[in-house]
């Protein structure tokens, strides 16, 4: 599956623009992390773009989130490693590969970075730096939905939190126009 095909599929399943942006942010972070680790950038990018395909469909039954999406991807015969990552990001299976671990930690971080940007005086990603995000990370009540423990699992990849945030921030800046930030 090409990136363009994945984008069309994602947009056909997710109507909410913020959700679309979330998957684009996740894709960008996954690509930058793959590059950092010398892994398959296309594969990791696709996993990011497709990880929440069922989000709207499972809105009324969150326990199925990740499973329905994995099923959709199985039906189109996508790479097994992506299917595993989709299940792992919603904790249906254990995160095993680096790609599984990366998407699990990235998922909540994208939300924290968006929320931090919106409270920055300029509201522009370009002006947000790692220290600004680190400060917001430490404020427990800020964007409380962005699970700090899950973000911290970047350490399972051997990435200290600050470095993880730096890579993902750079990634999200590269798609700032798409994110409207
Ligand atoms: Fe997500």
Give residue 23 CA to ligand 1 midpoint distance, Å: 6
Q: How far is the CA of 15 from the centre of ligand 1 (A)?
A: 14
| Nearby residues of 121 by Cβ (< 8 Å), 6 or more positions away | none
Handedness of CA 41, 137, 101, 5 (dihedral sign): negative
Identify the pLDDT of residue 115.
Answer: 97
Say what the pLDDT of residue 67 is.
97
Query: Integer distance in angstroms from the first to the last C-alpha of the chain?
Result: 28
Tokens of 176: 């700032």
> pLDDT, tens digit, for every residue of 54-101?
999 999 999 999 999 999 999 999 999 999 999 999 999 999 999 999
CA of 87 to the centre of ligand 1 (A): 12
Average the pLDDT over 1-7 and give the result.
96
180: left (phi over 0), alpha (psi -120 to 50) or beta: left
pLDDT confidence band for 2 (50 / 70 / 90)? very high
Average pLDDT over residues 20-44: 98
| Per-residue pLDDT band at 178 (split at 50, 70, 90) | very high
118 C-alpha to ligand 1 centroid (Å) = 19
pTM as predicted? 0.97
Q: How far is the CA of 168 from the centre of ligand 1 (A)?
A: 14
Q: How far is the CA of 136 from the centre of ligand 1 (A)?
A: 20
Q: Convert the pLDDT of each residue in 113-168 to its tens digit.
A: 999 999 999 999 999 999 999 999 999 999 999 999 999 999 999 999 999 999 99
What pLDDT is stored for residue 10 in this prediction? 98
Please say whether the beta carbons of 43 and 79 come within 8 A. yes
User: What's the pLDDT score for residue 87?
Assistant: 97
pLDDT-derived band at 50 (thresholds 50, 70, 90) equals very high
């Amino acid at each position: 599956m090409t990136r363009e095909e994945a984008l069309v599929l994602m947009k056909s399943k997710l109507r909410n623009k913020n959700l679309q942006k979330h998957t684009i942010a996740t894709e960008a972070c996954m690509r930058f992390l793959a590059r950092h680790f010398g892994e398959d950038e296309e594969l990791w990018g696709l996993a990011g773009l497709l990880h929440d395909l069922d989000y709207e469909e499972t809105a009324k039954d969150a326990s199925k989130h990740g499973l329905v999406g994995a099923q959709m991807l199985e039906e189109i015969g996508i790479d097994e490693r992506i299917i595993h990552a989709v299940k792992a990001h919603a904790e249906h299976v254990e995160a095993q590969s680096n790609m599984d671990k990366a998407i699990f930690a990235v998922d909540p971080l994208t939300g924290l970075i968006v929320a931090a940007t919106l409270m920055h005086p300029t509201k522009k990603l370009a002006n947000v730096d790692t220290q600004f995000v680190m400060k917001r990370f430490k404020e427990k009540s800020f964007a409380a939905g962005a699970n700090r423990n899950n973000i911290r699992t970047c350490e399972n990849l051997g990435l200290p939190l600050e470095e993880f945030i730096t890579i993902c921030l750079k990634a999200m800046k590269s798609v700032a126009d798409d994110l409207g930030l």
